[in-house]
Structure 1
């Protein structure tokens, strides 16, 4: 048996081409029921037939195309009428176009040649083919959830609240308020007193010892005068600089609190 191209033989059996369908070949009744389900509609089937037979889409041979189309539709019309309904509507359109092409062309009222009966079908086929090619190209683009998944990292938030940092302007405002109140209760007494910053640093640490938080204003005693409060304020700044105390504030314009710095054991 001579070698032939695959599209010439109707089938191959054990690698050998078959030119005729065997008479005793059994085809199950349900073998053709799902054939049209492979197409997405009548236009998809028409485009398949045109490309399969290498027809020119701008000059479609309506007789051959209609004959092949009806042959496919007849295979499933008796088995799946619901599926064949939309295909039968296209079959009626093909028969109408074929009939109009058999009639002699008529000129319009303006004397121009009448439009080709196939023009509307060609336009719909071209638009469908463009959309189908575009959909195929979009299908090759990687999509989230189908070709890849976005990485997600869950971070557990600490139960301990994070207080905002205290700005220098907040300390200045709090210090100005303390000085303003101190002037209202100051005594008119002139005395000379030597004040030690280190000593007041120890006093502040002693005041904070064993207490969770101390309000900023409670560290100052207006009755002892402005000089003592200035030294106490300097001592507090030195302690903060040496990270021995922490100055916190729950929110903007809220009271300022001072506590001993946490030292891990």
Structure 2
């Protein structure tokens, strides 16, 4: 049993509940939360409630309930350590009546510490200046394309329309072995087409021309990727003479065929 400390001077602070008050008393008495001296804690807790009554302050019901719990636990601690009947329940020798109270206090302390960390993070975040969202609609301007340039949206629309058209023209049932070509091989085929057209003094080939041989999804994707890679290599480019008109592939002058 710890020696009874000097009378504790309690400041009537605003506590968030009985557990908050108990943690404050444990800190002031400098005792271990896992080994609470129930006599001292109960006396100091009741002293706090008595001070509130003298100041005509309303005491919430949960404070009174905790006071009754503390008195009950203190009474159990004073009884001889043997099997005893309390509230029609048997408490075996060695069972600590403070166990449930300690569990609640430890859990509540963890919550308090987590709340403290979050508050510190909030205060640190307050040191940063955050720009309020601004309305930028008036600053949006469409950048016009150069004559003949094609947007990616135009390409995707053209690809989708071409695929739908080819599917409508395809037979209902087809059974045949399809050759699988790599993107590199398809790039060679596209440039070979330009070789032939170049001899005929033709530098433009319709976009849909390269998809008519094989209308399968794999072939279409493979051909489209080959076109994009040739554009990336600056060998060809997409051109559209009229808005929403047909898209052509055009050989760039100076490209190596």
Structure 1 length-normalised TM:
0.45
Q: Rg bigger for which structure?
A: 1
Structure 2 length-normalised TM:
0.46
